[in-house]
């Protein structure tokens, strides 16, 4: 065992490794699942008989290149969106489990007050993180949904009332992070 440890010393972990691995895996799967060159040209324009015409003007390299890069960037964006959705889901699931377990522990009788306070803090932090990832997930869904299918319902909102409602929550969040917050509402 000692010989193996000397021959193969442990390497310090780095958070970038899984990201690089995921990126390379997505790139490899994209290469395996699609042809090496995809050309999506309208047939009526490009497949006319070339008698007396300059073929190079019809198949302009910059047009082909831009169409190819557009296709690749769309596929890359789709892969990125799927990866973000998967990450958001994989983080929200254990957080929801932790939140549920802390709720069950809080309901137990006979726990010391400081333990209950810490459990409530854990539960609150889990709720906030779940809300953040839900917001990210919703934002991703909105970016991938065609704008024609979105329905908007706008309502009038008093910013002064909004600030008054949220101010206490913001102050507690900022206090935990040792930050000051001063808002002057006219």
50-105: per-residue pLDDT in tens? Answer: 444 444 444 455 555 555 556 666 677 777 778 887 888 888 888 899 999 999 99
Kindly report the CATH number that applies to the domain delimited by 21-38+60-146: 1.10.287
9-63: per-residue pLDDT in tens? Answer: 777 766 676 777 777 777 776 666 554 444 444 444 444 444 444 444 444 555 5
Residue range 3-12: mean pLDDT, rounded: 77
- Whole-number pLDDT of residue 2: 83
- For the chain, percent helix, then strand, then coil, each to nearest 5? 70, 0, 30
- Whole-number pLDDT of residue 183: 78
Residue range 170-185: mean pLDDT, rounded: 82
DSSP letter string over 41-104?
Answer: --HHHHSS--TTS-HHHHS-HHHHHHHHHHHHHHHHHHHHHHHHHHHHHHHHHHHHHHHHHHHH
Tell whether pTM > 0.85.
Answer: no
Which residues have a Cβ under 8 Å from the Cβ of 58 and sit 6 or more positions away?
Answer: 45, 46, 48, 50
141-156: per-residue pLDDT in tens? Answer: 777 777 666 677 778 8
Q: Which residue has the higher pLDDT, 122 or 29?
A: 122
- Domains of the chain, residue spans: 21-38+60-146, 157-186
Residue 119: count of CB within 10 angstroms of its CB: 19
């Amino acid at each position: 065992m000692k010989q193996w440890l000397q021959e193969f010393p442990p390497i310090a972990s780095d958070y970038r490794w899984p990201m690089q691995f995921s990126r390379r895996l997505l790139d490899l799967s994209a290469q395996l699942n699609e042809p090496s060159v995809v050309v999506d040209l309208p047939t009526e324009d490009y497949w006319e008989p070339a008698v007396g015409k300059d073929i190079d003007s019809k198949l302009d390299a910059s047009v082909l290149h831009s169409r190819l890069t557009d296709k690749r960037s769309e596929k890359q964006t789709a892969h990125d969106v799927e990866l973000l959705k998967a990450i958001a889901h994989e983080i929200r699931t254990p957080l929801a489990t932790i939140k549920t377990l802390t709720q069950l522990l809080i309901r137990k009788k006979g726990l010391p007050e400081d333990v209950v306070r810490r459990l409530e803090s854990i539960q609150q932090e889990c709720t906030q993180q779940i809300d953040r990832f839900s917001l990210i997930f919703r934002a991703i869904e909105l970016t991938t949904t065609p704008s024609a299918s979105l329905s908007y319902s706008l309502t009038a909102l008093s910013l002064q009332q909004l600030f008054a409602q949220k101010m206490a929550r913001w102050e507690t969040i900022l206090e935990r992070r040792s930050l000051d917050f001063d808002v002057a509402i006219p």
